[in-house]
Amino acid sequence: MGCLFSRRRKPAQGGQLPQQQQEGSGQDAATGEQKAPQYSWDLRAKVDPKDYTFSGLKNETVGRLPGKVAGQQFVIQDCENCKIYIFDHSATITIDDCVNCQIFLGPIKGSVFFRDCKDCKCVVACQQFRTRDCRKLEVFLCCATQPIIESSTGMKFGCFQYYYPELALQFKDAGLSIFNNTWSNIHDFTPVSGENNWGLLPETAVVQDYVPLPSSEELKAVRVSTDAAKSIIPITRGQRQKNSDESCLTVFFAGDYTTANARKLIDEMTSKGFQLVQTKEVLMKAEDAHRVFQQSALEFIPLLEKGPVVALEFNGDGAVEQCQSTVNEVFSGTKVFVSESKASASQDVDNFYNFADMQMGM
């Protein structure tokens, strides 16, 4: 990352500055002296790389409060036994040569890249996740695309679960959907025959046991909760073994309350013991609707023009009947697609998520 430098241009022919460059020039009202002209690039905030770097730290707790990174790129390098918290959205983050650190990274619009790190515990939300030459990283992850590990061993992954008041808006600022999370669909770029370089954290894993709440007075001002029930990201089973051979697909269409409705159904279903397997937010076209919704397609095609749909897969014995009952009871005035029967539901799930994965290039 470089600094932003201002450069003064020569006046236009005849000694006159172009109109847009004359802002701020003229006489000082108090002294009558001619003021130097101000240029638009002089008014930009200067970016100091030191404000977006943690380097060479040992046994420290450091971080950035909401609003302090504001979409810039960030660098973390050569840190040991540190607790690091980035409570803001950023463009990209690289983490190099860090050992035994506990790291929280707020929403990252682009990629996060861990290189030559070991024995670190992390909570990360990003568009792209990649590691190279890393050992023993334990990561609670939200990733919009397929996470990639390369020349890395002892990697463990769980579903991102975190809350503070500014986090939902930071996800929007980073262009990330809370429903697009492929945390467990890991691609190992350098597999070794007969070995597995990665696995999943225990279902009972608690974020706070891995990345504790910040202890410094400054960072305690961020009202963090690691309670799974409060998490901005819905907690999904991902690639874990399903408990039942019955799943149900539910699809909400774009509108003012789509996210709230989806969260409400998740709360209703999980409170009754059903498990949320996966979620997705994606745009659909008419031809996609025919493939996914089959005979019901014509009913839903007009709704697709309003924006992306949010799809949820629930699993558990009786999931279809319970989904239908809850949707009829709670969302009676809203058009929602719900699988018709246990027999058709597994095909509904496959049809939708195969389409969604192709849409997202996975």
Q: Which residues are annotated as a binding site?
A: 110-111, 127-130
As given in the structure block, the two tokens for residue 266 are: 């998740």
DSSP tag of 261: H
d(C-alpha 197, C-alpha 191), whole Å: 7
Helix, strand, or coil (residue 282): strand
Write out the binding residues for GTP: 110-111, 127-130
d(C-alpha 189, C-alpha 295), whole Å: 41
DSSP tag of 174: T
d(C-alpha 157, C-alpha 103), whole Å: 14
Residue 298 Rama label (left phi>0; alpha psi -120 to 50; beta): alpha
Helix (H) / strand (E) element for 131: namely strand 118-132
Q: How many residues does the chain have?
A: 362
Q: What share of the chain is helix, strand, coil (3-state, %, to 5)?
A: 25, 30, 45
* 131 close to 198: Cβ distance less than 8 angstroms: no
Question: Judging by DSSP bridges, how do beta strands 336-338 and 247-252 pair with one another?
Answer: antiparallel
